[in-house]
Amino acid sequence: MAMIMTPHINADAQDFAKTVLMPGDPLRSKFIAENYLENARLVNNIRGIQGYTGTYKGTKVSVMASGMGMPSIGIYSYELYNTFGVENIMRIGSTGAMQEHVKVRDIVIGMGACTNSNYVSQFGLSGHYAPIASYPMMKVAIEQAEKLNARYHVGNILSSDTFYSDDDKATPNWQKMGVLCVEMEAAALYMNAARCGKNALAIMTVSDHLVTGEVTTAEERQNSFTQMMEIALNTAVELDK
């Protein structure tokens, strides 16, 4: 096999599966590889961004961290789509609920991703672009959530460039538009997928609540969001059929 090296990934040409699960946290990648994948092997570890490939229910699946924020997932998804032949990327991670009916530990499937980022400007569009998930992936993920009896929500999410915002009106304004939750990666992933002619979906577990103030611990976010992981893994299996 030919070794391919981009600035951020060093792997053999065939090291990655058609579908890659992409948590933000490298330790979450390691957890999934060790607890769900058979014969998992480390295929990338540049800058500690751990990527593994193994099998799940007989299907080749990869999992690699994205790091935090749209610039980071923008880099890794671009290289996976364009250099390593990846077709489907599923962001799996944590999110903060913005609506009272969305509870901590619920699953949110991002149908669309609003953003306060300027990421889209690079594409030279003359209007406002609406980043959306790939419908076939989303349809399968919803089916898998139903099979697991998960409490889930499908709708618009917010991908924010700021974790600590100086604008105290930002959250209420997004809330009144029905945005379900806030995270920091999906919009860039959706835009890269559209530009590359590939597929993307964000499946997230609510880790904290901007209305009630309820939070989960870092350890819980790393290890206990297993229902989200299983939805994504089962979706990967279905996409391979």
Say how far apart CA 80 and CA 89 lie, in whole Å. 9
The catalytic residue positions are 208
